Amino acid sequence: MSRGIWDRETVALVLLGAIFPIAVTWLSVAGAEGLWRLVFFLVVAGIWHLVWMLARAQPPSFAGVLTALALALLAPQELGLPALVLSTSFGVVMAELAFGGWGRNVLNPAVVTLAFMGFGYPAAPWPELAVQIGWAALPAALIGMVFGVMAPGILLGAALAFGVAWLAGVDFTASYAAIAVVLVVLVAEPVASAATAPGRWLNGLLYGGLVTLFVVAWEGAAPVQLAVSAALFTSLAAPLFDEIAIGLWVLKRKKRHG
Amino acid sequence: MQVPGVWTQAWARGLSRGLDVPVANAPAPVEPAEIETRISEEAALLASAEDDLRIEPLVARGDSVAQGAPLFRFRRHPEVAITAPMAGMVAHLDLDLGHRLRRIALFHDDGAGRYRHDPGAAAQEPAALRRLLQDSGLWQAFRSRPFGRFPLPAEVPAALCVMVLDTRPGAADPRLAIAGGERAFEIGVRAISQLTEGPVLICQEAGAEVIARNILPRRVKILTVPRIHPQGLAGVQVHRHFPARPGAPVWDIGAEDVLAIGELLETGYLRQTRLVSVSGDALREGRLIRTQPWADLRGLCRGLLRPGPSAILSGSLLEGQEARWLRPGDRQVTARVRRERKEGAHWFRSALSRASRPLPLIPTAAADQALGGGVAAMPLLRALSSGDAETAIRLGVLSLLPEDLALADYVTCAQPALSALLAGLLERIEQEEVA
């Protein structure tokens, strides 16, 4: 009783629980083929976690399951086996394990993998997410916020940006599902996003802004592709947002306390 | 089951930020008159080699000492004395090489009487007050931030912080401790406000004001603090309202010690007891007890413990340490069931768990709340975990002490403990300051 529960693995498990609605809805749509994709990514990510555990004594993490699930949901289809193995290995090893495992990484391994697939195999078709998967993102976000593993600032900031864009006449109907799923599964993930309250709002706003920009100006982009690209740029900017938030806080305190 | 660290709890409390830590057998609130007074037969102060407490003893083994009589003076600061917490006989006085104190222990004997200090003009004159506090041992009731040492004899604080609430899990309400002594408390507040030119912050819960505002100097401010941990820690309040800096130290003191200063000024006698809360899952029931400083913790738990192995901590569940005697400054005792350690974890498991230190910290609502919301929690914890003194100072770490991070340790299961990292960091910063 003399310790709390919020260590790394608890957070990973609670995150998994939070995105459970998305996973279930997606599996009911994708069926056996989706399950096979999930198992494939689980095996590839799991093998790399095992290798790093044996070679570097780096404990494996349930966060690997998060990565696998995100990849099964969002990875381009009809990519050959070598391409899938290569890009997944790149993402998992270079974005997560090489930094010391989940919690020390700067970028989300799933985002890096997806970006690698997008740049490396531009001809591969991105998946079309069914509408109900997009709706499942709502309860997922709610669970994540209530249990404190997803920051309200990121989710509400993004929602705010989308609301403003929608009022300005931008049409999100075609891309809603992809945008919502990427927001909840990739952008709101606590490690690779901003960690201060104002930084999180900026983080969410930037994601919303970038998605809106891509929807309006990027012709021919698939919904998942533009959402993943926005997620990549957003998580690259996250440390900057934290730095801005800390700078403002220090300035405010200097003014008040001298 | 109560899950600490959930956003909804923070929302339910409005802007107040913190966490409820469940504690077994927290003492039920009682009327001040019903609180049992229990003076333990022995009392002792232990010091370790790291404390480096070099003293000049004023008594010898076997001497009879009155309650409040000086026992020893510090060699480095001969102005400051430590006094006897109860009337009795000096049972042990163990010194190491270089006059380092290892242990001083007393046997209780009421016949030795009480020692009267002469308050003189201390209520009006700051210099006389300093002398009186330093002679009576009440000087040690102050703690100076940054670095959390006892204030130097000539140090002048930039601000004072009086804590009239304690939000540690299972802690006794300091308002209960000073109930009935409002007059002495007021005298105490007036007196210590002479020690500084800066503000005197009195932190209390919402409700009736602990001291009438209109009779006090304008520098004395009464702050209302929500009753949720860690808001009742002096560090959190100092950080928010008057950050401590080297050269501009902030002292903090508990309400009951201010009351003791008031009583000393009024009567010349040192207060005999302090209110201590006894709680924990190894007890049959929790209880509030008035006892002397340095009290025997086993004596305090006598009649309350359940059979079976237990560990008695001086301090709360979060920051307490296993001890035999009540440590100076602590007002809480926690008796915890001692769980058997699993024998011989597999070598591979222990290799895995020991190889990657410090463990990564994942930002969650719980981690944010564990620092009270006034700090950018994750950047500060990450700076501590990576030993980045510059960023930590920028984020206000100099107002904090290890006890202020005990809740963050509890919540995040950080290894090595963040409070230990902070202790090391503060020591390093202090050495650099001196150099």
Chain B hits for A52, Cβ within 8 Å? none
Instruction: Give the total number of structural domains in chain A.
Output: 2
Reported as a pLDDT band with limits 50, 70 and 90, residue B342 is low
Q: What is the CATH number of domain B126-267?
A: 3.40.50
- The reply to whether residue B353 touches residue A196, judged by beta carbons under 8 angstroms, is no
Is residue B227 within 8 A of residue B207, CB to CB? The reply is no
Distances in Å between the Cα of B153 and the Cα atoms of B74, B78, B134, B262 are: 11, 9, 8, 20
pTM summary value: 0.90
Query: Whose CA is closest to B267, among B176, B183, B180, B211?
Result: B183
Chain A hits for B201, Cβ within 8 Å? none
Same domain? For A152 and A220 the reply is yes
Query: Whose CA is closest to A52, among B415, B352, B414, B354?
Result: B352
**What's the pLDDT score for residue B215?**
76
Same domain? For A90 and A61 the reply is yes
Reported as a pLDDT band with limits 50, 70 and 90, residue A2 is low
Q: What angle do CA B222, B226, B227 make, to 5 degrees?
A: 115
Instruction: Return the minimum-mean-pLDDT range out of A103-112, B42-51, B56-65, B417-426.
Output: B42-51
Q: Which residue stretches of B323-403 are H helix?
A: 347-355, 365-370, 377-386, 389-394
Same domain? For A22 and A87 the reply is yes
Same domain? For A85 and A137 the reply is no
Instruction: Tell me the mean pLDDT in the region B261-290.
Output: 92
The residue from A120, A148, A176 where one domain ends is: A120
Kindly state the tokens that stand for B182.
Answer: 């409002």
**What's the pLDDT score for residue B373?**
78
Q: Which of B362, B380, B390 to probe the A interface (max A CBs under 10 A)?
A: B362
The dihedral through the CA atoms of A193, A199, A201, A207 has a sign that is negative
Reported as a pLDDT band with limits 50, 70 and 90, residue B346 is confident
**What's the pLDDT score for residue B5?**
47
Same domain? For A135 and A251 the reply is yes
Read off the DSSP letter of residue B173.
Answer: P
The residue from A92, A120, A148 where one domain ends is: A120
Alpha-carbon gap: A24 to the closest alpha carbon of chain B (Å): 24
Residue B203, beta-bridge partner list: B163, B223
Chain A hits for B4, Cβ within 8 Å? 4-5
**What's the pLDDT score for residue B354?**
78
pLDDT in tens, B41-93: 999 999 988 888 899 999 999 999 999 999 999 999 999 999 999 999 999 99
Is residue B332 within 8 A of residue B168, CB to CB? The reply is yes
In a domain? residue A172: yes
**What's the pLDDT score for residue A4?**
76
Alpha-carbon gap: A258 to the closest alpha carbon of chain B (Å): 10
Same domain? For A104 and A140 the reply is no
pLDDT in tens, B386-416: 999 999 999 989 999 999 999 999 988 888 8
Residue A70 pLDDT greater than 70, yes or no: yes
In a domain? residue A125: no
Instruction: Tell me the mean pLDDT in the region B268-295.
Output: 92
Same domain? For A147 and A201 the reply is yes
Instruction: Tell me the mean pLDDT in the region B323-328.
Output: 92
**What's the pLDDT score for residue B13?**
45
Read off the DSSP letter of residue B296.
Answer: B
Residue B2 pLDDT greater than 50, yes or no: no
The residue from A120, A149, A170 where one domain ends is: A120
Cα torsion through A143, A145, A147, A148, rounded to 10: 160
Chain B hits for A242, Cβ within 8 Å? 376, 379
Residue B3 pLDDT greater than 80, yes or no: no
Report the percentage of chain A scoring pLDDT > 70.
Answer: 99
Same domain? For A102 and A185 the reply is no
Chain A hits for B367, Cβ within 8 Å? 6
Question: What are the structural domain ranges in chain B?
Answer: 40-112, 126-267, 273-337, 347-434
In a domain? residue A2: no
Is residue A75 within 8 A of residue A117, CB to CB? The reply is yes
Specify the CATH number for B40-112; select among 3.90.1480, 2.40.50, 3.30.70, 1.10.10: 2.40.50
Instruction: Return the minimum-mean-pLDDT range out of A68-72, B212-216, B379-383.
Output: B212-216
Is residue A180 within 8 A of residue A137, CB to CB? The reply is yes
Same domain? For A150 and A241 the reply is yes
Same domain? For A249 and A135 the reply is yes
**What's the pLDDT score for residue A57?**
86
- Give the residue numbers spanning the domain of A146: 131-257
Q: What angle do CA A44, A50, A56 make, to 5 degrees?
A: 130
| DSSP-derived 3-state class of residue B102 | strand
**What's the pLDDT score for residue B16?**
44
Give the separation between CA B205 and CA B210, rounded to whole angstroms.
Answer: 9
Query: Whose CA is closest to B33, among B209, B183, B179?
Result: B179
Give the separation between CA B344 and CA B84, rounded to whole angstroms.
Answer: 46
In a domain? residue A126: no
Instruction: Return the minimum-mean-pLDDT range out of A62-66, A170-174, B14-18, B242-246.
Output: B14-18
- The reply to whether residue A1 touches residue B413, judged by beta carbons under 8 angstroms, is no
pLDDT in tens, A196-222: 999 999 999 999 999 999 999 988 889
Same domain? For A15 and A92 the reply is yes
Whether the CB of A144 is below 8 Å from some CB of chain B: the reply is no
Alpha-carbon gap: A199 to the closest alpha carbon of chain B (Å): 10
**What's the pLDDT score for residue A77?**
84
**What's the pLDDT score for residue B369?**
87
Cα-flanking dihedrals φ and ψ of residue B315, to 5°?
Answer: 115, 180
| DSSP-derived 3-state class of residue B260 | helix
Write down the mean pLDDT value for chain A: 92
Read off the DSSP letter of residue B306.
Answer: P
Same domain? For A141 and A213 the reply is yes
Give the separation between CA B201 and CA B163, rounded to whole angstroms.
Answer: 8
DSSP B6-27: -HHHHHHTTT---BPPP-TTPP
In a domain? residue A1: no
The dihedral through the CA atoms of B266, B269, B274, B275 has a sign that is negative
Instruction: Return the minimum-mean-pLDDT range out of B4-18, B273-287, B369-383.
Output: B4-18
